[in-house]
Amino acid sequence: DHTHADTLRTPIVAVLGHVDHGKTSLLDTIRGSAVSEGEAGAITQHIGATDIPLDTISGMAGELIDPSDFDLPGLLFIDTPGHHSFSTLRARGGALADIAVLVVDVNDGFQPQTEEAIDILRRTGTPFVVAANKVDTTPGWNPQDGEPIQRSMDAQSERAKSMLDENLYEIIGQLSDAGFSADLYWRVQDFQKNIGVVPLSALTGEGVPDLLTVLMGLSQRFMKEEMAIDVTGPGEGTVLEVKDERGFGATVDTVVYDGVIRNGDTVVVGGQDEPIVTEIRALLRPRPLAEIRTEKEFEKVGEVAAAAGVKIAAPDLDQAMAGAPVRVVRDRTVDQVVEEVKAE
């Protein structure tokens, strides 16, 4: 039943991978938007956050998912840049994640930032799946828009199928070289022991239902162990970006990964010189399915529970820093929380 879906913490899914391998395009397909096209040089330069509700996920996954099997409110996707100069942002995105999608261009295979992402996932012990993206670029591919990958495979010539297989086994071999036992996802029984590889195309959407299904399964399993966290405690988050917002001055786009943040809360935010102690004037939420990075319309809300992307408006935030912690004070002393923030 869904009775406690409201109090369960939304899992955070980081999307990692080499530059241009299709991370933002994959999220565009899932949220039905086109963020990638609007990016300068089509390169992601910041961490993003998009809340995807359960009904959107189950709608896309179609026959592969029975939503009544899941207790989750949805998934919060974190987009990260693949360009080599953004390693801090990748590490930050990886550290926030409960689970991750490693996007690999099926033709290019492992590249330097794929290796870097794998190192982050290994270091943080984050369970992940591999999205073997751009299957539609296989010579002779017969696209099956939005279909589950098995059905799409059935529609391909033997030649196209064997070319794709060759590329997929290359990736499975590279994962094995990196120390992970991996296989095509439909052969994987335990996704925490073996890495599932999901062939898909962000462009045509084929295989995306499969990816969402695997992610929901991983989250559900993970949640049983760790996610049923109390989301009523004082909110904790990380600053993604500091931005000027008309009528509000400096605001911080934040991923709340634990607890609850309320309008009027006293918060401590990591600053350039010292922690900033301030009081929240407004909590601004992007619409569901909207990327906080590019969203223009925000809804004022009274509170948000983890995990969520939210823009915080408060005095004195101009000295805040991307990557800095955000902590609600609530029933502790300000000094206590300031010390906590300094220690991060």
d(CA 285, CA 247): 16
Which of 98, 136, 291, 295 lies at the binding interface for ligand GTP (CB under 6 A)? 136
- Any binding-site annotation on 19? yes
101 is known to lie in a ligand binding site: no
Which option in ligand GTP, Mg ion, none does residue 265 bind, with CB closer than 5 to 8 A by kind?
A: none
Nearer to ligand GTP, 37 or 69 (CB): 37
- Asked if residues 144 and 123 have their Cβ atoms less than 8 Å apart, the reply is no
Residue 46 among known ligand-binding residues: no
Stretch that binds ligand GTP, among 134-142, 165-173, 180-188, 224-232 (CB under 6 A): 134-142
42 versus 334: smaller Cβ distance to ligand GTP: 42
Residue type, 113: Q
| Binding piece for Mg ion, criterion CB under 5 A, among 15-23, 66-74, 87-95, 118-126 | 15-23
276 — alpha (psi -120 to 50), left (phi > 0) or beta? beta
Binder among 8, 17, 22, 24 for Mg ion (CB under 5 A): 24
Where in 43-82 is the site for ligand GTP (CB under 6 A)? 43-44, 81-82
Choose the binding region for Mg ion from 21-29, 128-136, 157-165, 254-262 (rule: CB under 5 A): 21-29
Residue from 9, 31, 46, 134 binding ligand GTP (CB under 6 A): 134
Count of residues of this chain found to bind ligand GTP when the rule CB under 6 A is applied = 22
Residue closest to ligand GTP when measured from CB atoms: 82
Contacts of 72 (CB under 8 A, 6+ apart): 5, 8, 10, 11, 54, 216, 219, 220, 223
Asked whether 256 and 302 are in contact (CB, 8 A), the reply is no
**Least distance (Å) between residue 26 CB and ligand GTP:** 7
User: Which class for 23: exposed (0-12), middle (13-18), buried (19 or more C-beta within 10 A)?
Assistant: buried
- The answer to the question of residue 152 lying near Mg ion (CB under 5 A) is no
Contacting positions for ligand GTP (CB under 6 A)? 17, 19-25, 36, 42-44, 81-83, 133-134, 136-137, 201-203
Residues annotated within the binding site for GTP are 17-24, 79-83, 133-136
